[in-house]
Amino acid sequence: MTALVRTALFAAAAAGVLAAAGQPSAAQKKDAPKAGKAGTVEIKQGKDDKYRFNVRDADGKFLAMSGPSGFATRAEAVKGLDALKAALDGAKVVDVKGNGKDDEDDKKPVDKKKKGGN
């Protein structure tokens, strides 16, 4: 019975630690988009008849856009947006350093402990 009580206490303590770890810091809360509000995606047809999209947060702040070459149809723009969503879902953030070539040796995971960003 004692082992069962210890296991229950350990599980409760672990759940508390995990719950606390999942809480955003004060800085994260300040910079986070307003809860319950989604951003917007604007799809526009340009003078060249190509479609492009802009992504904005809940406050209307610009976040991203499609490439300059655009898409031939609105449906292709939506497919491009879906591909962007899929790529960002769980994407790993890396710093790329070097001569601008896409070398695997130049990609390094972002060090969250490092201060100053250099």
Task: State the virtual CA torsion across 33, 35, 38, 39 in degrees, nearest 10.
Answer: -10
What percentage of residues in the chain have a pLDDT greater than 90?
Answer: 48
| Domain ranges across the chain | 37-90
* Averaged pLDDT of the chain: 73
pLDDT at residue 30 in the model:
57
Asked whether residue 114 carries a pLDDT value surpassing 90, the answer given is: no
pLDDT at residue 91 in the model:
94
Fold category of 37-90 in CATH: Double Stranded RNA Binding Domain (3.30.160)
**What digits encode the pLDDT tens for the residues 38-50?**
999 999 999 999 9
pLDDT at residue 20 in the model:
40
Cα(16)–Cα(21) distance, integer angstroms: 9
Least confident segment among 21-30, 49-58, 80-89, 95-104: 21-30
Confidence of residue 103 (pLDDT cuts 50, 70, 90): low
Task: State the virtual CA torsion across 41, 100, 97, 108 in degrees, nearest 10.
Answer: 60
Q: What is the mean pLDDT of residues 48-63?
A: 96
What pTM was estimated for this model as a whole?
A: 0.52
pLDDT at residue 55 in the model:
95
